[in-house]
Amino acid sequence: MQKPKILVVDDEQGLRDSMRMLLEDRYEVHLAASGREAIAVVKKEPIDLVLLDIILPEIDGIEVLKIIKGIDDSIEVVMVTAVITVGKAVEALRLGAYDYITKPFDIQALTEQVGKLIEKKTLQRENLSLRRLIESEYQFEKIVGKSGAIREIFRVIDDVAGNSATVLITGESGTGKELAARAIHNRGPRKDKLFVALNCAAIPENLLESELFGHEKGSFTGAHERQLGKFEIASGGTLFLDEVGSLPLPMQAKLLRAIQEKEIERIGGGRPVPVDVRIVAATNSDLKAETKDRRFREDLYYRLNVIPIHLPPLRERKEDIPLLAEHFLRKYNHEFGKKIKGFKKDVLSLLASYNWPGNIRELENLVERLVVLNRGKEIEAEKLPAEIKGETGAAGTTEKRFKEAVMKFEAEFIRSALDKAGGKKSRAAKMLGIHRNTLIQLEKKLKI
């Protein structure tokens, strides 16, 4: 273990020497004969405690105190004063000094006081680093979460960030797909190059090719200048193709070619241009299913899906809800200059029982709104929107009971059909007048 560091500031050589003798067994002692020297030491060394004389040449002790606290507020300062300057010492306390001792001092009292202060500092420091540890454990880049599912995602991102393999991120709207894509970029060797995002659903079809691959001057009406496409802009970095599922089929073919050949052709360019980009694609649709309907090229699907990352909906990782709520509270407190301390307990349980169709984005927007509108120190349940309060309210319960009754009835109905059909699914389905697949789905849903 490292010795705690103490700085003794006094213009009397004799006093500095005796302090050093007294303290050097247990502490690393630094000495300064003036305020200027003291400040230089504090800037260089992580000092825990300063014993600071009030009367100093050039810059007086009170000024030095202010400067030290300005450099690092967590450094403890004890003023050393003669009886006649006690008034000043009291002023020093107001300015953040921890205590003062009067000269000539009692050796035992001094060492005890120093010992206690150092102990307090060590405890504080451990607490602080514990908090940092927790924060970093539950946060990866900008992704917050502690559920098993999200930790697994942290792990995968860490694993893939180092290479350039294509990643396909799937997940419902608002689950953090873009955040994950950025984390992959920021964690990897391409972080100093660009992360370029293109929302494939937001670009009109006739502009997509130019957006992706660029065009030469005069290649079509309106092409007044050569323009680089996102592929070339992202060169060396990462190209994030958001909502890749909405790319029209002809563009899918061109994208596949660009990824495979690692080169692109600008519109009207003629000559292929080599590009070095990492592709991260995202979609909230079921691309696999779309390949079956021939709305998405199967070969492109496999080319993109080298490393799949699935972000589960928030309702499947409810243990993250309180953590995320706190995270957004801190974020918007800061943004709006508010000091809201937290959520009332019943608020957190209402948040946890809601279904979050809009996932984390919905939660973030809600917390932002609550922070803006809240007047008190804590956020109260009555401020929540009806759909969140309602879930466990009276109306919600009747609705829930009705649904449960229907499901129970359906389950019994299906069980008896299965019994009569001797467990044969196709026959039972026929008896019920439904498709066999529907029966299988119902069995899953009703847990038969």
Ligand X SMILES: Nc1ncnc2c1ncn2[C@@H]1O[C@H](COP(=O)(O)OP(=O)(O)OP(=O)(O)O)[C@@H](O)[C@H]1O
Residues that bind ligand X (CB under 6 A): 142-145, 171, 173-179, 284, 324, 327, 360-361, 364
Query: What is the closest distance, in whole angstroms, from the C-beta atom of residue 235 to ligand X in the complex?
Result: 24
145 binds, options ligand X, Mg ion, none, Cβ within 5 to 8 A by partner type: ligand X
Q: What's the CA gap between 406 and 241, in Å, rounded? A: 43
Is 424 strand, coil or helix? coil
C-beta of residue 68 within 8 angstroms of C-beta of residue 59: no
171 binds, options ligand X, Mg ion, none, Cβ within 5 to 8 A by partner type: ligand X
* Complex with ligand X: residue 37 or 364, whichever CB lies closer: 364
Q: What are phi and psi of 188, to 5 degrees?
A: -105, 180
DSSP string of 153-220, one letter each residue: HHHHHHHHHTS---EEEEESTTSSHHHHHHHHHHHSTTTTS-EEEEETTTS-HHHHHHHHHEE-TTSS
Q: Which stretch binds Mg ion (CB under 5 A): 140-148, 176-184, 270-278, 304-312?
A: 176-184
Please give the residues from 410 up to 439 whose contact with Mg ion meets the rule CB under 5 A.
Answer: none
* Complex with ligand X: residue 178 or 290, whichever CB lies closer: 178
Q: What's the CA gap between 162 and 159, in Å, rounded? A: 7
Query: What is the closest distance, in whole angstroms, from the C-beta atom of residue 142 to ligand X in the complex?
Result: 6
Whole-angstrom CA distances from 80 to 4, 10, 55 are 20, 9, 9
Query: What is the closest distance, in whole angstroms, from the C-beta atom of residue 361 to ligand X in the complex?
Result: 4
Query: What is the closest distance, in whole angstroms, from the C-beta atom of residue 311 to ligand X in the complex?
Result: 6
277 binds, options ligand X, Mg ion, none, Cβ within 5 to 8 A by partner type: none
Query: What is the closest distance, in whole angstroms, from the C-beta atom of residue 333 to Mg ion in the complex?
Result: 25
179 binds, options Mg ion, ligand X, none, Cβ within 5 to 8 A by partner type: ligand X
143 binds, options Mg ion, ligand X, none, Cβ within 5 to 8 A by partner type: ligand X
Whole-angstrom CA distances from 231 to 195, 228, 277 are 11, 8, 7
Query: What is the closest distance, in whole angstroms, from the C-beta atom of residue 327 to ligand X in the complex?
Result: 6
Query: What is the closest distance, in whole angstroms, from the C-beta atom of residue 181 to ligand X in the complex?
Result: 8
Q: What's the CA gap between 180 and 327, in Å, rounded? A: 17
Query: What is the closest distance, in whole angstroms, from the C-beta atom of residue 302 to ligand X in the complex?
Result: 22
* Number of helices and strands in the chain (H, E): 19, 18
Q: What are phi and psi of 70, to 5 degrees?
A: -70, -35
Smallest Cα–Cα separation from 19: which of 97, 101, 88, 86?
101
* Complex with Mg ion: residue 198 or 371, whichever CB lies closer: 198
End-to-end CA distance of the chain: 61
C-beta of residue 311 within 8 angstroms of C-beta of residue 180: yes
Is 42 strand, coil or helix? helix
Query: What is the closest distance, in whole angstroms, from the C-beta atom of residue 312 to Mg ion in the complex?
Result: 16
* Complex with Mg ion: residue 343 or 356, whichever CB lies closer: 356
188 binds, options Mg ion, ligand X, none, Cβ within 5 to 8 A by partner type: none
Among the listed residues 28, 158, 178, 410, the single contact to Mg ion using CB under 5 A: 178
362 near Mg ion, judged by CB under 5 A: no
Residues in the chain, overall count = 448
Going residue by residue from 214 to 233, which x/- string records binding to Mg ion, judged by CB under 5 A? --------------------
DSSP string of 374-412, one letter each residue: --SSEE-GGGS-HHHHHTTSHHHHHHHHHHHHHHHHHHH
* Complex with ligand X: residue 123 or 201, whichever CB lies closer: 201
* Complex with ligand X: residue 371 or 417, whichever CB lies closer: 371
> Under rule CB under 5 A, how many of the chain's residues touch Mg ion?
1
174 binds, options ligand X, Mg ion, none, Cβ within 5 to 8 A by partner type: ligand X
Residues near Mg ion (CB under 5 A) are: 178
